[in-house]
Structure formats: structure tokens, C-alpha cells
Structure 1
Amino acid sequence: MTRTLSTPPVIEAGALSVRPQPVLPAAGGLLLRPWAEPDAPVFLSAYADEALRRWHTRRPTSEEQIVGWFDGYREDWAREKGAHWAVTGATGEVLGRIALRGFDFDDGVAWAGYWVLPAARGAGVATRALTAVAAWALDEAGFHRVELEHSVHNAASCGVAGKAGFALEGTKRRAAVHDDGPHDMHLHARVRGD
């Protein structure tokens, strides 16, 4: 079904996929790059961490499955549905993951998600990566708004969002199911001009 709008889309279809997914520098020597097959072991190892598993219910079970996810990530970019990056340190080691998904070109909105490996936590990796992705989305890609959600019990993610300039806009009641049942979710957003 074709949707007829009274306003033009904020971002024209084809505006992003005509070029490769960008590699983004972030403060402190971080580099955000698309995932590659050799990253599968470290990606899988992240999900052995209980703290990460607490907040992420979609979990890979094998390196082969992850390689399939990486293929899906490339398809997301080609279809203009999302962008997924490995967050790497100065020597190229993977420190975490950040993604923009749910691209809405009509309204100019995208949704951010992230995690950091245990050894890299507490060093501002997620904040610097989120800041870089938001700057790209709002200043270069043309989005008006980037949103993120996290469980109200995930204080670390709330801190990352605030430090990266994402205002807390409210609480969505029982909006996500985790292993221990439904959770209320904080909704944060950063808009162009913040």
C-alpha cells in the first residue's frame, strides 16, 4: 500500500544506500566500522556476560549464526533499514556494538542501541560511540531525531544516554519483556539542534 503524505519525506529514499555504510571516528581514538566475519568470535563472547544478557533477549548461539546476522546488517544498510557498527579501539580490537535501526525517512527518526564488552566498561566507550552515531545521524544523514530505550533498572544505560545528550522524555510502562518479565522502559531522544 502506497502512503500519500502531505509533506515530503525528511530523507529521500536512496539517499543513504547509494554509498557504503560510513566508518565513523569517535572521541578517544575509537573507530566505528561495519562488522566483518572475523569479528564473530568476539561478538559471541559478549553474550556470555550475565550483565549483557540481562538487558538483551535476542542472543546468538553460534559464530555461524552471527555471520548470518552480519549479512543481515549489510542488507539493512542496502535496504535503508538500519546501520550496525563494531566499536573498535586504537589497535582495532572490538570493544562493543552500536546500531541505528528502524529508519523512518518520512519523519526523520532512527532508534539507537548499544552494548560494550565487560573489559571496556567504565571508560566512556558507549557514550563516545553513541555521541558519534548521533552526530552522524543528525548532522550528516539528515535525521531529525534519534531515540533509544532501556529498562528503568539499567542505570548504566541511562547514564550513557544522558552523557551523550539524549534527554529523558518519559517512561513507557511494561514496554519490553526481559528474562524476569515485563519492564518499564525509559525513552530518551536527541534531536537536531540539541
Structure 2
Amino acid sequence: MPSLVAPLMSAGCLAGAPQPSLPVEGGLLLRPWRLADAAAVVRVFQDPDIQRWHLKRADTEAEAREWITRWQQGWQDEVAAHWTVVDADSDAVLGRVSLQSIILMGGQAEISYWTAPWARGAGVCSRAVTAVAGWALSEAGFHRLELGHSVVNPASCRVAVKAGFTQEGIRHNALLHTDGWHDMHLHACVR
């Protein structure tokens, strides 16, 4: 069936090249995940705050390697792009930023993130989200990035605002967490 609108991003526009590493202000680097990062993922997911805001947990390095393999495959399938935030000098894992639910037709994606407990309070996440959003909107060809977080997660809201995402509204009872349904702030950034 013919489309009435040309796709904003063509198939192969992401997977046609290796996933890029992106420099981040302040001595950080966003790079694709490696299987060797599994121990850091398990360590991060032992944190009660991470467990509060995420729907799954990683208890073993084998589980974390499965996640990382799926994260790597997301780039090849052009449905997601996952980066680890690392210290550019030591390569220590400090966080994660992802573009998920990629829709090439409309150049859209959802951005998500977390910060390792040992890296919080230093602006790591907001700088990393800013870098991914800048790359996605200017170099990769995305038109719109959305970001959602629970209305009772002020730290995530601060990241969104610092990274230049405008709050557009509230999605009521939008996501089920371990403690019940949460209303979600919807933020967006448009090219």
C-alpha cells in the first residue's frame, strides 16, 4: 500500500553505520554497551532508587549480558539506541541513555536514562541526555524526542528540564510501578 508521506528517516539510516560514540561536556563519553559492562549493570540495579523507577532488575551478570545483547541488537534493528555514560579517562560506567520505540517514518523516539548511584548529583545525566538529544535531532535526522517520568520523581524532571525538554502535559495512570499506577509527565524536544 503506497504511503502518502515520505518517511522522515529511511531504513538503514542508523544500522548502515556503527553506532557512534558521543563526547559529552565535562570529561564524559557516551559509547555503545559492551558485554564487559555487565558487572556494572548488576551493581547499579542493586540500588533501591533504580529498582523503584524501573520495571525489571538484573541480579546476575548473565542477565545483564542478555540485556546488553538486546541493547546492541536494537541498533541493528533500528528500534533503539543504547549508550553507556562513562568517564572518558577511566571508562567507569556512570549511567545509561537510550532512544527507544524508534519510529523512522516520523523521525520519533522516546529517550530514557538512569544514573549510577556513585555518579549522582554531578549533572552526569542531564549532560548525557543533552548530548544524545543534540545528536539525534541534528545529525541523525530525528524530528521529535519524547521523555516520560513519574510525577513523583523530581530528579528525573530536573534532568528533562536541564536537557531542554519542554513539559507538554501529564499522562494519567500511564505506567505501572511496583507501588501501583503512576501519572507521568510528558516532556518533548522537537527539531
Superposed pair shares fold, TM > 0.5: yes
Q: Distance in 1 between matches of 2:20 and 2:83?
A: 9
Structure 1 unpaired stretches of 5+: none
Distance 1:138 1:5 in 2: 24
The equivalent of 2:129 in structure 1 is: 130
- Normalised to the residue count of structure 1, the TM-score between the two structures is 0.96
Partner of 2:60: 62
Q: How much has 1:180 moved relative to structure 2?
A: 0.5
Separation of aligned partners in 1, 2:11 and 2:146: 20
Return the offset for 1:61: 2.2
Please name the residue that 2:13 is paired with. 15
> Structure 1: which amino acid aligns with 2:87?
G
Residue 98 of structure 2 aligns with which residue?
A: 99
User: Could you tell me which residue of structure 1 aligns to residue 78 of structure 2?
Assistant: 80
CA distance, structure 1, for counterparts of residue 118 and residue 71 of structure 2? 25
Q: Which portions of structure 1, spanning 4 or more consecutive aligned residues, are displaced by more than 2 angstroms? A: none
TM-score relative to the length of structure 2: 0.97
What SS class does the counterpart of residue 19 from structure 1 fall into?
A: coil
Task: Report the 3-state secondary structure (helix = DSSP H, G, I; strand = E; otherwise coil) of the residue aligned with 1:44.
Answer: helix
One-letter code of the match for 1:30?
L
Identity of aligned residues (%): 49
Separation in 2 of the partners of 1:106 and 1:4?
13
Task: Name the SS for the 1:158 alignment partner.
Answer: helix
Let me know the Cα RMSD of the aligned residues. Answer: 0.9
> Aligned residue for 1:177?
176
Tell me the residue number matched to 2:27. 29
Once the two structures are superposed, residues 90-145 of structure 1 have per-residue CA deviations (whole angstroms, 9 ceiling, x without a partner) of 32111011111111011110111100011110100000000000001100110001
CA distance in 1 between counterparts of 2:149 and 2:22 reads 24
CA distance in 2, matches of 1:160, 1:68: 28
Q: Trace 1:138-153 onto structure 2 (pairs within 5 A).
A: 138-153=137-152
Q: Gaps spanning 5+ residues in structure 2: where?
A: none
Map of 1:118 onto structure 2: 117
Corresponding residue pairs, total: 190
